[in-house]
Every structure is written in C-alpha cells, then in structure tokens.
Structure 1
C-alpha cells in the first residue's frame, strides 16, 4: 500500500439525471403498486448495478415483448421504443408503463412534426443504440436517414435538399454533434433544426464538467457502462480536452491501485445512469490505498425533475 498523497477532483454535475431517476422510480413504484414480478423491456437504464438492484426487488428484464407472459405489467426503458412496441402491447391488452425520458419523447415529437409538414428527417446518432431505434421507429420505415459522422453527411442522398429537417440523439458528444450539424447546414442551407438543442441538459452539463477538470488531472475515470452512450462520450471528451489517460470503469473492483502509484491528481465523474454509491465505493477504495484529498469542481447545479406517469399515480380500480 502506498500512502502517497492523491488529490481527487470530482466533477459536478455527475451521475443520475432526471430522466434516469424517473425511470428507476417508475420500476420501484410499479413493483409497489402491482407486486412482483414486473417486466421491463430492455435495461431500464444502461447500468448493471442499477439493473441488478431492481432485479433483487422483483423486476424481470427482457429484450422483447414476446418474453412477457400474459397478465403481467411491462415497462418500456428510458431510451424510448418504436411505435410498434406499445401497439403490440395494446393488441395483447397488456398493462404497460412508458418510462421513456421526456427529453427523448421531445425528439420523437419533433420528428413527427417535421414529417407531418412533409420534410424528410435526418437523425444524428449512433446506429443500433436503443434511443436511435426508438426515434427511427416513430415514423414509417425508410423515412428517417441516420448519419453518424462527417463521412455520412458527405454521402447523404436526399429526396429534396430544400425540404429537410434534423434531430439528434440526446446523449451525443456536444462538440462532435456541432461539427456534424455544421456540415449538414453547409450541404443543405435550408435545413430545419430543433427549436431547442436535442442533446439533453445532463449530457451537456456532464461533458462541460469533464472539460473543466480534464486539463488538471493525470488520469480521469468515468464510472459507467460500455453500452452507455453518454458515459462513453465522457471518456472521449476527457481525452480530447487534456487527459489522454481517461477510461471507463464499471465498479471500484476494476481499478488496480498499484497502476495508479504515479498518479498525483485523479479526476472522477459518472455517466447519467451511474448511481452515486459507485463513486462513494471508489473513494473508499482510494482512501484505503492513498492519502486522499477530495475537491469537487462544480460548473453548476441541476434542479430538473420529471413527474411519474399518471397510470402509476392513479388508485387501482376494482371491478
């Protein structure tokens, strides 16, 4: 064990956002209201610690509706789902609760509005991500064009270059997305965009906090999951803004403290689906190995909250 000093710079804001907090509450309240088991289509948020904690309370996670037996409630994850999913749930007369983040739902409504006004939609996002699948699934197949990077923008084939609109995934890199949108606007000057930025406040704030501490540390750890888009973007942002030695960790047990012997200043943040308890776990481990001083670097506070769906707040009716 090394007792050498280690200064930890904690990024703030970090961890849970309002959409994630709401989604987890939805599962917990549904378990209280309906009893276990409650089924959840896809991981409610991209964090195994959270998923396993909810499983211990009686949640059962599945990938598709056909894995849900008749007669049990099902919850749709915070990432959003294609319209075909609630349609199938209604066909089967299932009791379902939609935990889609309201900021993702806002993107869905934007895409529908542009489509109803006759525009072709360009979605900036990562292929295969549940949020992208959900957004593309709001409209008829083939009507949303996905672009991931500048090469995709250059290769984009559209019906009418003067009748286009774009929306974006909510968890992208702010800087990368700005470059892609600039390239889209350069190619299509009459491009319609969102009234307000699609990248959510939490993604924007967490990336700004990382930019504030990355140049000041020797290494930066992002607590999150490899399938969490916003967590992976935090690693990229840290590397691009002054800390090449940045990496993702799921839990404290992934950290080999002997490898950090030469590190004097360590940055720590957490993706929007990572609970604060995982940060506390790392701080406890750090104190067991080093003489730790913790400094919190805050770029502001967050006060946004989202209401639970009405179906969970209404009293149960009896026949």
Structure 2
C-alpha cells in the first residue's frame, strides 16, 4: 500500500507504490491529500515541470493512478502553518444543506453557483476541500466528475475508491444520464434536437480558458429539447452525450441561442436580455442524474432550480 497519509517532507526523493485502494484517483488530488501543508501552487508547478513522475515518465495532473504504479515524489517544503486554508463557514453550512443523496460509497451534492468543484488556479478551496473539512475522518473523498464554477446542480463525490472506479467506467460508457436546465436567448427551434460540433480548448491571452468550435477539435454532441417558451427566451433541457469543457454553453452559442448570464459565450442580444431580467449568474443547472451501480441498484436524483433562477422564470411568465 502507498502508506502516504502523512508523508513527511524530507531531503530525499520518495518512491511510493500505489495500491488498489488508491487506484482510480487523479494524481493531483492524491498529491494534495498526502502532501499536507505543501502549497497547491508548489504541487501544480512540480507537475508542470515533470518533477512528479509515474513509472519514470512525465504525467499530467489529471492522470488516473493505477494499482502498481510507482510514484516519484521530489523533496518539497511544507508551508509554515502546515495546514490547508480553512473553508469559510458560510460555504460549509451551504454545502451541508445541499447534500441530496448519501450512501456508504457515494455523496451527491446540489452544488451552489459560485463555488468551484476544487481549488487551484488561484482558488484556495472548492467543493471537495469543503467536504474534506466537514468530514476529516473520511480520507478518500474524491470528485467523480466536474461542473463549471458558475453552474449549479448535481455533483457526485465518491467515498470509496471502488465506487469512484465504477462510476468512471459508467461515465466512459455513457451509462450515466445527466440532464441540465438552461435558459437561452431567443426562440429555440422545434426542429433543433441535437447540436454536433467539434470543440477545442483555447486559452486566450488573459489566461482565461475558452472553448471554441473547430474542425480539429474533439467530437462533441449535445441533445436539446425545449421545456418552456417565452417571448424572448426558451427554457431548454440539455443532455450532453459527450463530456467536453463548456460543451452546453458553446453548443448553444454555436446554434445561435447563447445561455443567459454567460459572461464568456454571449452576444449583444443575450447580454441585453440578461440585464433586463436582472439575472446575476449563469442560467445553467445540472438537475438530474440517473444510473445503475452494480450490486447497489438504480440511483435517480433530482435537484430543483435555485430560487434566483426560478424567480427569473417567474418574471418571464408575467404578461408584458
């Protein structure tokens, strides 16, 4: 076993052999857990420079560890305090209220808008750090998948490595039914039930991550269906068939109907309508998850729209 729960910072290189309990975790999450007190910026810098290696090779932060992997950990210094930055109480209280499903191996949280799923890139904490602070006795909490910081809704967090591996397998084979609600600018056409356009990540000069439709991008497919029609907007259900970054947002923009409240993928019409409605956030909500876990059975969870999004719909429902 990689007996590395309390790995000390020492002058020498450490070689850790990954066991079955730690298999399936992202490398960055594993390092953040075992290197208590080491600044996150130091860990991510070491990953970019290739200081942390698996089986003598360079690997990316998102690499999934496998049983038997040999992880090279270079000498690192801990921060003076030696403790992670505390998560503000208002976030832990909010997350505690938003746990909508729990069993021995899985948590599902209705994530609030504005909370990232994990720290990094200038953020000291996110949903996973929040949960780890709330449940210090649970050493193996890991994100199963991600949501954008501004998107609200259902996020799965595994409590056991075996559940994490099984859910990743279901996600890879498209056996997790994920549905979102989005409010788009304009009248979504009845005939438009699918957008298929390849997507490519592109980092702009400011360092902001953007995604664009490009021929050389990865295959990306989203199914859409109108749920409620308004004079200037449409409430749609979106089902991502593939799981690309910002997929629903970029596909809606590509179709000509940007999401309201989207600061990255908008047009003058959607920006004006967002301002008219007084909408202060992205209108995108992960509302349902359906899947079957072997040995456990069917899991079906729904999360209602947050009050601020529901109130926006009420404004649109009022006659002009």
Report if TM-score (shorter chain) is over 0.5.
Answer: no
TM value normalised by structure 2: 0.24
Identify, as 1 or 2, the structure richer in strand.
2
Identify, as 1 or 2, the structure richer in helix.
1
Larger relative contact order (C-alpha < 8 A, sep ≥ 6)?
Answer: 1
TM value normalised by structure 1: 0.24
